[in-house]
Structure formats: structure tokens, C-alpha cells
């Protein structure tokens, strides 16, 4: 098991294993967040936080919500708003302990336009 933690420690996200690849997406939101996404089955991602410790952002087609720590602002995960929109969830790999993601291949996703990987 691996835990991603926000800066202040109020929000933890548990996943079963180290990611195999990371995704650097250039869509209008991800490029602003500056996140590196790791993907898991939605049921494998456990967000541990006190009630009210997180905020979320939902935009565009309203298929997913982006969850951040209400105190320190770190972007933690995205999750689909309904299983009919897909079974994956994203975890911001930048919140794993330093060094955990060293050496993992980073793939560039053209989320701004074609939704294809650029490599």
C-alpha cells in the first residue's frame, strides 16, 4: 500500500501499489494544477479525511470531480461522478513521499485537444 498526503496532512489517499506510468495532461485544468496523475480502479482509491476537510471542483461535462484539501489546497484525486462515466480514478502522484515516483515513465496526454498520448 502507498499513501499520498497533502501538505498539511489533513487528507490522505491510499492506493494499493506504486503507479506503473504517470500522466502529464495539458488540458485547461491539469496544466494549471501542475499535477502528475496516476490511475487506479476507483474502488482501489481510499480517501482518508475528516468530514469537511476537502473541497471539490466540477466543471465542463460534469463527469468527474477534482478533490483538494480545504486547508492547504493540494489537489489529491479525481473521481467519476457516476460509474457510468468510467471505472478509473486519478491520484496526484506528486503527493506521494519524495522519491516514490522517481524513474517512473511520464506520458504526456493531449487532454486539451485529441485525448491521445503524445509519445
How crowded is the C-beta side of 7, counted as CA atoms within 13 Å? 7
8 near Zn ion, rule: CB under 5 A: yes
Instruction: Select the residue interacting with Zn ion from 55, 62, 72, 87 (CB under 5 A).
Output: 72
How crowded is the C-beta side of 13, counted as CA atoms within 13 Å? 33
Alpha-carbon distance 119 to 101, whole Å? 19
4 near Zn ion, rule: CB under 5 A: no
Residues 31-70 that bind Zn ion (CB under 5 A): 69
If binding means CB under 5 A, how many residues of this protein chain bind Zn ion? 6
In the complex, what is the shortest distance from the CB of residue 81 to Zn ion, in angstroms, rounded to a whole number?
23
User: What residue ranges in 1-119 does DSSP mark as E strands?
Assistant: 2-5, 11-15, 21-25, 37-41, 46-49, 54-58, 64-69, 75-80, 88-92, 105-109
In the complex, what is the shortest distance from the CB of residue 52 to Zn ion, in angstroms, rounded to a whole number?
13
Instruction: Select the residue interacting with Zn ion from 12, 44, 71, 107 (CB under 5 A).
Output: 71
Residue of 92, 82, 9 whose CA lies nearest to 45: 92
112 near Zn ion, rule: CB under 5 A: no
In the complex, what is the shortest distance from the CB of residue 26 to Zn ion, in angstroms, rounded to a whole number?
26
In the complex, what is the shortest distance from the CB of residue 97 to Zn ion, in angstroms, rounded to a whole number?
15
Binding residues for Zn ion, per CB under 5 A?
6, 8, 10, 69, 71-72
Amino acid at each position: 500500500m502507498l499513501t499520498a498526503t497533502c501538505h498539511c496532512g489533513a487528507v490522505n489517499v491510499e492506493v494499493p501499489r506504486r503507479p506503473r506510468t504517470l500522466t502529464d495532461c495539458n488540458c485547461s485544468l491539469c496544466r494549471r494544477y501542475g499535477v502528475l496523475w496516476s490511475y487506479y480502479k476507483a474502488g482501489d482509491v481510499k480517501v482518508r479525511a475528516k468530514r469537511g476537510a476537502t473541497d471539490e471542483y466540477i466543471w465542463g461535462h460534469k463527469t468527474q470531480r477534482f478533490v483538494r484539501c480545504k486547508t492547504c489546497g493540494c489537489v489529491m484525486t479525481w473521481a467519476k461522478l457516476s460509474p457510468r462515466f468510467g471505472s478509473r480514478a486519478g491520484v496526484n502522484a506528486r503527493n506521494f513521499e519524495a522519491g516514490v515516483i522517481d524513474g517512473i515513465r511520464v506520458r504526456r496526454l493531449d487532454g486539451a485537444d485529441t485525448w491521445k498520448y503524445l509519445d
